[in-house]
Chain A
Amino acid sequence: MDQFLQQTLSGLANGAIYASLALAVVMIYQAIDHFNFAQGEMAMFSTFIAWQLIAWGAPYWVAFLVCLAISFIGGMAIERIIFAPIHDAPALSHVVVFIALTLIFNAMAGFTWEFTIKEFPSPFPAELPFKTTLIGPHELGIVGITLIMLGLIYVFFRFTPVGLAMRAAAASPDSALLVGISVKKMLGLGWGLAAAIGAVAGMMIAPVVFLEPNMMLGILLYGFAGAVVGGLTSPGGAVVGGFLMGVLENLAGAYVIGSELKLTFALVVIVTVLLFRPAGLFGRVVVQRV
């Protein structure tokens, strides 16, 4: 029983990361109807920026916030410079550009910081104030930070005018434009937010998996799986899906398939959900007018 609880709780910690990435993926999907295959590498690059700041002597939380700001601006820049000009291009062009970004970020990180594995510090105390063997301090910290972040995002979208405008721009760009919302700005803002959310995920997972240019590929796959399970049209669903994938991953790893086939597990989940319930658990079915 103890082991079961342990696996579930540490699954929640991983799930928090997947939930963040899933949310970032869904935000961009909502805004431009495309999957951001570069989300993982963007997060990795942000994490390297934070690492560099810390290496230069910045305190952790300063580096954390500066990294968020840089990622936010970087995300907006990517939207404006790279994606705005091809907004109406066919889907393949988008996929190709996302892949190109993946390559560029991966290679830039490798060039700047080399491919050797780096340690990334955890901001949380080494020991918990109370005694438990069920969950480690960093894992608890991941869940806490993610929940705080998700709470802030919820409040932002639910209660602020800008959040409302962003939702309007994503749901119905034409109508939003007619009531005076700058859809372009909202798109940029969405990209910035997605990049920042990814950066948090990257900085939280880096102490666990170690920092290196290829660290995010498998994690992104789980993020996608979370987004698909929860439903690509539902940000809340994506978060739930992310947590669910984390727990499922750990339980399946511990009791069913062993740790060696984790990525295959994600593949099976993605294909199964897309086949039998393409809208996911919480998504709405999109009907296409012919």
Chain B
Amino acid sequence: MTSIDTKSMAIPANPATTSVLFGVKLPTLKLAVTIIGVALALILPFSVESFTVFQLTQVLVYAIAVLGLNLLTGFNGQFSLGHSAFYALGAYTAAIMVDRYEIAFYWTILPAGVICFIGGFLFGLPALRLEGLFLALATFALAVATPQLLRYEHFEGFTGGVQGIDLFKPESPVGALGDDQWLYFVVLVCGVVLLVGARNLTQGRTGRAMMAIRDNPLAARTMGINTSLYKSVTFGVSGAYTGIAGALGAAVAEFVAPDSFTFFLSVWLLVGMVIGGLGSIPAAIVGGLFILYVPNISEALIAQFFGDDPSAKALIGVAFGCFLIFAVYVMPNGLAGFVRWFVVRYARPGV
């Protein structure tokens, strides 16, 4: 009754590779966009001030987290409103390792991923019995409970309680790069590795199994796919992605505290995923940009109209909410879906 029907959100097959858009062959166009994107990612940190570099780093961090959520929801059809918990788990893993055991930051990224993989896998096991909405409910509970767990007095020795843990940005070993730029490139490398990993994961046999489960769990099982295993592993991988984002985010913010990981963080990630596009990997970057820059832009706009009234900032939430409803009504597949539609509509078969 509550089975998820994401079929209508499935990705239409790419038009034939010979199609032409704007007089350019599609694969060429795709390559060009990728090259421009990579070039921008490499050049930008040198041409903007360090605060913008910090923001761009945060965009990448969000993008990785959104990608993790998208693997779970977009490709496997499982909902999660609880990814703030995995983000927090990753962030705290990194922070505790750096703060208490004085391990260099770089060595905390992988353990954060591994711990979140285990966490996700374990949460995914009971989640197997919870379909669709019930999973949304269970993960909602997880997200609401997370800040309280982090504040819990008996964990205070590790988590620093309400105060949280202060961190320092890793120092840049390369003279030519400032600390901000260095961290940007660290995050960028992680992001690219994870992006390529997600692409390979979803384009192969595993990805087809994941999507088959999303589209029709029963049929997938009949075809011999071990749905339980795939669903829990997807949950684990998704958790790992988000956890790595959390670890990187901890270094970017130089600070972890329970109140940074409320239910609303989960909501931002969900917003990023829906606006970017379900079941699309590059959409994660759009999601990251959206999560960071739309509040900033709205804040500037609001400041123009309402002055410096602090409660006016709340209007950002209204803007986000309206964007979400707009997306559901008009672009259910997000920006990625729009691009796909545009290509299908305007690409002409080539020679």
Contacts and interface: CB of A to CB of B under 8 A. Distances in A.
Interface of A: 33-35, 37, 82, 85-86, 89-93, 95-97, 99-104, 106-111, 114-115, 213, 217-218, 221, 224-225, 228, 260-264, 266-267, 270-271, 274-275, 278, 286, 288, 290
B149 A264 contact: yes
21 contacts: A37-B136, A37-B140, A82-B325, A86-B328, A90-B8, A91-B5, A93-B328, A96-B327, A97-B325, A103-B320, A103-B324, A104-B322, A114-B310, A224-B141, A267-B141, A267-B142, A267-B144, A267-B145, A270-B138, A275-B130, A286-B1
Interface of A is mostly: helix
Given A108-B318, A111-B311, A288-B3, A264 B145 contact: yes
B324 A96 contact: yes
B329 A95 contact: no
A260 B325 contact: no
A85 B329 contact: yes
Contacts of B126: 271, 274-275
A101 B244 CA distance: 30
Contacts of A86: 328-329
Interface centre among A90, A109, A290 (most CB of B within 10 A): A90
A99 B81 contact: yes
Contact of B314 (A95, A108, A260): A108
A248 to B, nearest CB: 15
B58 interface: no
Contact of B149 (A97, A103, A261, A290): A261
Contact of B218 (A103, A218, A270, A290): A290
Contacts of B322: 100, 104
Nearest 8 CB-CB pairings of A with B: A107-B317, A110-B314, A104-B321, A100-B324, A103-B321, A111-B314, A267-B141, A100-B321
Contacts of A106: 314, 317
Nearest to B316: A107
B258 to A, nearest CB: 11
B132 interface: yes
B130 A96 contact: no
B263 interface: yes
A99 B81 CA distance: 9
B141 A96 contact: no
Nearest to B136: A95
Contacts of A89: 328, 332
B14 interface: no
A290 B218 CA distance: 9
A103 B148 CA distance: 21
Contact of B141 (A85, A101, A270): A270
Nearest to A288: B1
Contact of B151 (A85, A102, A260): A260
Contacts of A115: 311, 314
